[in-house]
Structure 1
Amino acid sequence: MTSILWLCRDFRFDDNAALTAAVRDGPVLPVFVMDAATRAQGAASRWRLGRALECFDAAWQVRTGENITVLEGEAADLLPGLAARIGASAIHQNDWPTTATKAAQDALRRALGPGPVRLHLHEGHLLIHPARVKTGAGGSFRVYTPFARAVRVAGPDRPLPPPAIISALPAIGARRAGELTFAPDMYRGAAVLAKQALPAGEAAAFARLADFIAHVPDYPAHRDRPDIDATSGMSEHLALGEISPRRIWAMASLRAGIDPALASGVEKFLSEILWREFAWHLLLAFPQMAETPWRADWARFPWLGANPAALAWSRAETGIALVDAGLREMRVTGRMHNRVRMVVASWLTKHLLTDWRIGLAHFEDSLTDWDPAANAMNWQWVAGCGPDASPFFRIFNPEKQAASFDPKSLYRDHWLTGEGAKAWRETVPASWNPPEHRALPDSAALLDQGRKRALSALEAFNRNSQ
C-alpha cells in the first residue's frame, strides 16, 4: 500500500505520528499544499513557514533521496486525484486544530466521498490529548493553575522515535519547496529578516534546546530581561512543528533528573510549555477566541477601533522607549521578548484604549513564531477579557518595566539608536519617513493620563454592567 503524508506543520521526523503511520502503510508521498488559508496567514509567519518547508525538504532528500511534492490550490481539489494516481490507500495528517484547518479537512473528506481512501488525523501538536484533561465536572479548564496541575498528574503523552527506514515515492511535478514565493508582501523586509533569523529546521531545534538546557539554571532569574539572551528561543520551532512539545518535555525532564542543579530552571521552563498547552486547549473549547472576548460581557467594553494613536503604535512611533523598541524588534527579527510583548500590548489596550483585536492582527502579521492559540489567549489575557486573565486595572508602566528589566538600557538603545535602529529603517516604507526616536519630555504625565483614562473607562464599564 502507498499513502500520502499531508504536510501542514510538524516539519520533523521525530515524534511525528502521521509520518510514522504513513511509513507503516508502505511507500509514502509527502505533499505540501499552498492553499488560500496559508496565503491569508500573516506575512512573517508565512515567510518562516517557507524556511521550515525548505529545511524539511532538504532533510527528506538526505533521508530518502527524494523531494517532497509541492502543490498550489486546495487540498480537496488536489489530493483525491493524486491519491488515485499513485494508488494511495490513506492520507495521513497531524492535526493542527484551527478553524481553517478543520474546514480544509472537512472539505477533503467530502471530496473523498465513500471511496476507499480515508483521511487519518494524528495527535502531535500538543503535550496531551484534550480528552485526558477535564475538570471534575467533565468540562474544559478555564484557569491555568488547576489545568497545569491536571496535566502534570496525567503526564504528557509519550513521544515517538523517528522512523528507522522510510520508503518514499518520487515527487510529482517539477516545482520544489524553495521555488514557492511565501511572502511577496514583505518586500525588502524579507532580506532584513533573513539576516536576523534564528536557524530553522529540526536539527537546529534540537541543538538550540540542548544549548538552552545547559544554561537553564539562569532562566528563572533572567527570563524577563530583554537585554539578556536567557530565553529558550523554541517558540518558532514549536509553531512550525520542527520539534514537538512532548519531546521538549521529555528531554528537559530527563536532564533535570540526571542533574539536580537544572531542576529549578527546568521546572520554570516547563510551566511556560504548559502555558502554550493551556492556550490550545482553550482554543479547542472556544474556537472564536481570536475574534470574540472569552468573557461575553466584555464585548460591550468601549475599546476604540482603528485610530491615529494605534497607527503610530504599529509603526513604533509612540515615543515610549520600551514600547517602540519592542515593536522595532518584532519588525526586524519577527520576534519580541515576552516581557516586552506584555508591555506593548498593555500600552495599546489600556493607555490607548484600543481594541485588542487590532494588536492581535498586527502581531499575526509580524511574528515568525505566530501561534493562533497563544496569540489570541495572550492578547485577551493582557486586555482583561480572557479566561484567567490579568485584571484590566493591572496597567504596565513602561518606564518602570524598563528600569526593572532593561536597567542599563542596552535593549532600548540597540533598537532606538544602535544597529537595530539601522536595520529597522531598512524595513519601513519610504512613505513613513520616520524621525529619529526621541523620548517624550512629558512621558510621566502621558503615562499618568493614560492610566487614569483606562481606569475611568473600567469604572464606567463596571457601573453599566451592573
Structure 2
Amino acid sequence: MTDERSPIILWFRRDLRLSDHPALSSAIQSGRPIIPVFILDELAEGLGAAPKWRLSLGLDAFSEALSQTGSSLILRRGQALETLRNLVAETGAGSVFWSRAYDPEAIKRDKHIKAQLTAAGVEAKSFSGHLLFEPWTVETKSGQPFRVFTPMWRAVQNRAVPTPEPAPKQLIPPAVWPASEDLTSWKLGREMNRGAEVVRPFVQPGEKAAHDHLFSFLGRVANYPGRRDQMAENATSNLSEYLSLGEIGPRTIWHVVQNAGQTGASGTEAFLRQLVWREFAYHLMFHFPHLLTRNWREEWDGFPWNTDPELPEVVAWKQARTGIPVVDAGLREMYVTGRMHNRARMVVASYLTKHLMTHWKIGMDWFADCLIDWDPAANAMGWQWVAGSGPDAAPFFRIFNPQTQQEKFDPNSSYLRQWIAEGQSDPSATSLAYFNAVPRSWGLDASDIYPQPIVGLQAGRNRALTAYETRKSPVRN
C-alpha cells in the first residue's frame, strides 16, 4: 500500500507544461510531495539534431516555469528503468506517474517499466494528455480502428472533450531534493552545429509562448480555410512544435478554438478538423505501428524506389539545390527556421518520392533530423500519404506539379524571394541565412549560380507514371 506521505515522481517526457496535464493534476490531488523528473534515456538520445536541440530549449523553459511554483525539474541521463529505480531509492517515492506515449518503442519501454516498478511495490500509473481521445476509445461501428480520416472526423467532431485543468500556482516539494544533472552538460544542440544560432531567433519555447501563439491565431482563424495554403502568409497556427513537445495540450487548443467558434468566429471547424488529422495519425500509429517502418499499402512493396540516400539527385534535394525553386525554398525555410509550411512539405515530399523516385523513408528520416516540430506519427503518415503508399491516399498516383503549386499558392513569388537568394539583386536576410545554417562541408555561397533542374518536371512525372504502371506485385511468403 502506498504511503500517503511519500513523494510522487512525475516523469515528464513530451508533456512539458503545467496546465491541461492529467498526470500532474492527479499528483496534486493526492496532496503528496511531487518530484518532477526528465530522463534523457535511449529514446530521447535517439532524436534527430533539430528535435534534440529544440528539446533542450523546451526543458530550459519548463524548468523556469516549474521554479515559479516552488518546484524544480530534476534531470537525469541514463536507462529509464534504472534511473527511476535509483530515484525511488534516493527519495523514498512510493509512486511514479507519467503521460502516455503511443509509438511502439515507447509503449514497449513503458509497459516494462510499469511491470517492474509494480513488482517492486511502487505504484506506476500512466495518464492521457497527448491526445484528445485515447486510440482505443474511437472505433467504427464494427469495433475496428478507423482507417479513413473523414469517417473518424464525423465520429468525434461532436464528442465531449474534457475541460483542461489550470496550471497550479504551487507544488508541494519533497523534504529533500535529489541531485540533478546540468542541462548544458548534455550538449543537446551539438549536432546542430552553426545552424542553432541561425534557427534560434525563430523559436520561442515554453508553455507561455504556446498560449500566446494560440490566442494570436484566433485573430487570424477566419482566414484559415481560404489562406492556410498560401506559403508566404502567416495564416496557420504555428502550434506544431508546441504540440510536439507537449508545451500545449490538444484539449486546450480544442476548447479555445471551439469556444471562439461558438461565440461567432468563423474558420474554426476547418482548424479543428486539422487537429483531428493529427489525432488520426496517432491512432493509426498506435493500432498499426508498421506505419513508421514500411509501406502501409502492401502493393507498394514492389515499387522501384531508389533507396540510396547518397545518390547525387537525393544529395541535391537535401541541399535545397534541385533547381526547382519552390522545392528548394521549402527546404531552405526548414534549415533557417526549423519548420516548413505544410503546403511546401507536400510539394517537397512529392518531388522526392515521385520526380526523384526516392523512397519516402529517406525523406521521413531527413525531416526527423531537421524539423524542430518533428512528430513521429504526423511525419510518417504525411510522407506515406504524399508517396501514395499510405492510409487515406487518393486512389490514383498523386504527383504534385511544383510549378503549378507555386503559381497557385505563391502567385506573387513572395515565398520564393523570402528563401531563394541566388539571382536576386537585393536578397532577403532570410534567404541569405540559409548559407549560414547549412554545413560548411556543402561549400555553398550566395554568389553561386542557381542550378538548372536536376530532373525536368515533365520528364520526372513521366518516369514516375511509367514506374507506377509497370510496378511489380510484391511477393509474400
- What is the TM-score of this pair, normalised by structure 2? 0.92
Write the distance in 2 (CA, Å) between the matches of 1:464 and 1:188. Answer: 44
Contact 2:349 2:383 in 1 (8 A): yes
Structure 1 residue 300 and structure 2 residue 306: aligned?
Answer: no
Supply the distance in 2 between the matched residues of 1:290 and 1:35 (Cα, whole angstroms).
Answer: 21
Using a 3 Å threshold, how does the CA distance of structure 1 residues 58 and 351 change in structure 2: closer, same or farther? same
Shift, 1:92, TM fit: 0.3
Within 5 Å, give how 1:241-390 maps onto structure 2: 241-258=246-263, 260=264, 262-263=265-266, 265-306=267-308, 307-390=311-394
Moved more, 89-98 or 423-432: 423-432
Q: In the aligned structure 2, how far is the partner of 1:58 from the partner of 1:165?
A: 13
2:469 to 453, 459, 465: 459
Counterpart residue number, 1:122: 127
Corresponding position of 1:420: 430
What pairs with 1:124-273 in structure 2 (closer than 5 Å)?
124-163=129-168, 165-169=170-174, 171-197=177-203, 199-258=204-263, 260=264, 262-263=265-266, 265-273=267-275
* d(CA) in 2 for partners of 1:128, 1:442: 45
Distance in 2 between the 1:110 and 1:60 partners? 29
Does the alignment pair 1:450 with 2:463?
no
Cα deviation per residue 1:185-217 (whole Å; 9 max; x = unaligned)? 1111111111222x1111111111011012211
SS at match of 2:289: coil
Residues 48, 370 of structure 2: 8 Å contact kept: yes
Note if contact 1:351-1:447 (Cα within 8 Å) is conserved in structure 2.
Answer: yes
Structure 1 counterpart of 2:68, which letter? V
Say if 2:35 and 2:72, in contact at 8 Å, map to a contact too: no
In the alignment, which residue of structure 1 is the partner of 2:425? none
**How many angstroms apart in 1 are the aligned matches of 2:301 and 2:43?**
27
Q: 1:362 to 1:391 in 2, by over 3 A?
A: farther
Q: CA deviation at 1:442?
A: 6.8
- Paired residue secondary structure (1:370): coil
Equivalent runs, 1:76-95 vs 2, <5 Å? 76-95=81-100
Amino acid at match of 2:89: A
- How has the CA–CA distance of structure 1 residues 126 and 379 changed in structure 2, closer, same or farther, with 3 Å as cutoff? same
Q: Is the 8 A contact 2:99 2:128 kept in 1?
A: yes
* Aligned-partner Cα distance in 1 for 2:259–2:17: 21
Aligned Cα root-mean-square deviation (Å): 1.9
In the alignment, the residues of structure 1 paired with residue 451 and residue 86 of structure 2 have an alpha-carbon distance, to the nearest angstrom, of 61
Contact 1:29/1:168, CA 8 A, preserved across alignment: yes
Q: What is the deviation of 1:301?
A: 1.2
- Structure 1, unpaired ranges of 5+: none
Cα distance between partner residues in 2 of 1:91 and 1:215: 41
| In 1, Cα distance between equivalents of 2:73 and 2:177 | 6
Corresponding residue of 2:406: 402
Q: CA deviation at 1:431?
A: 2.2
| Aligned residues between the structures | 459
Give distance in 1, aligned partners of 2:441 and 2:402.
28
d(CA) in 2 for partners of 1:439 and 1:446?
15
2:370 maps to amino acid: S
Separation of aligned partners in 2, 1:117 and 1:367: 37
Once residues 201 and 177 of structure 1 are traced to their aligned partners in structure 2, the CA distance between those partners, rounded to angstroms, is 16
Alpha-carbon distance in structure 1 between the residues aligned to 2:453 and 2:87: 64
C-alpha separation in 2, matches of 1:355 and 1:119: 41
Q: Secondary structure at the match of 2:36?
A: strand
- For 1:68 and 1:431, the matched residues in 2 are separated by 38
Question: 1:211 is aligned with what amino acid?
Answer: S
Which letter maps to 2:269?
Answer: E
| C-alpha distance in 1 between matches for 2:289 and 2:249 | 22
| Aligned partner (choices 408, 411, 433) of residue 443 of structure 2 | 433
For residues 102-117 of structure 1, the aligned pairs below 5 Å read: 102-112=107-117, 114-117=119-122
CA distance in 2, matches of 1:158, 1:347: 42
Q: 8 Å contact 1:227–1:406 — kept in the other structure?
A: yes
Q: Tell me, in whole angstroms, the C-alpha distance in 2 between the residues paired with 1:135 and 1:375.
A: 25
Worse overlay, 155-164 or 36-45: 155-164
Match of 2:291, SS state, is: coil
Q: Contact 1:294/1:386 (CA < 8 Å) preserved in 2?
A: yes
Question: Residues 148 and 274 of structure 1 are in contact (CA less than 8 Å); yes or no, is this contact kept in structure 2?
Answer: yes
Tell me the SS of whatever aligns to 1:297: helix
Offset of 1:151 from its aligned partner?
1.1
Q: Distance in 1 between matches of 2:63 and 2:52?
A: 16
The answer (yes or no) to whether the contact 1:382–1:389 under 8 Å persists in 2 is yes
How far the C-alpha of 1:174 sits from its partner, in A, is: 4.5
Counterpart contact for 2:91–2:178, Cα < 8 Å: no
Aligned partners of 1:440, 1:53: CA distance in 2, in Å? 40
Q: Which position in structure 1 is the counterpart of 2:424?
A: none
Structure with the bigger percentage of helix: 1
Secondary structure of residue in 2 paired with 1:13: coil
Q: Quick one: which amino acid aligns to residue 40 of structure 1?
A: G
1:161 to partner: Cα distance: 2.9
The superposition leaves residues 401-456 of structure 1 with CA deviations (integer Å, 9 ceiling, x where unpaired) of 1111111111111211132232111122222112556556678x810000000110
Q: Tell me, in whole angstroms, the C-alpha distance in 2 between the residues paired with 1:94 and 1:429.
A: 36
| Shift, 1:299, TM fit | 1.5
Q: Which amino acid in structure 2 is aligned with residue 312 of structure 1? A: A
Letter in 1 for 2:220: H
Once residues 118 and 185 of structure 2 are traced to their aligned partners in structure 1, the CA distance between those partners, rounded to angstroms, is 33
> Counterparts of 1:85 and 1:192 in 2: how far apart (Å)?
41
Scaled by the length of structure 1, the TM-score of the pair is 0.94
Q: Following the alignment from structure 1 to structure 2, what is the Cα–Cα distance between the partners of residues 71 and 202?
A: 22
Partner of 1:47: 53
Answer whether contact 2:302 2:472 (CA < 8 A) is retained. Answer: no
Distance 1:224 1:438, change over 3 A: farther
Q: CA deviation at 1:392?
A: 5.2
Percent of residue pairs identical: 41
The residue type equivalent to 1:130 in the other structure is P
- Mean CA deviation greater in 109-118 or 125-134: 109-118
Structure 2 residue matching 1:127: 3-state secondary structure: coil
Q: Secondary structure at the match of 2:119?
A: coil
Please, which moves more after superposition, 142-151 or 422-431? Answer: 422-431
Distance in 2, matches of 1:464 and 1:324, equals 34
Shift of 1:164: 5.2
**Contact kept in structure 1, 2:300 and 2:474, CA below 8 Å:** no
SS in 2 for 1:120: strand
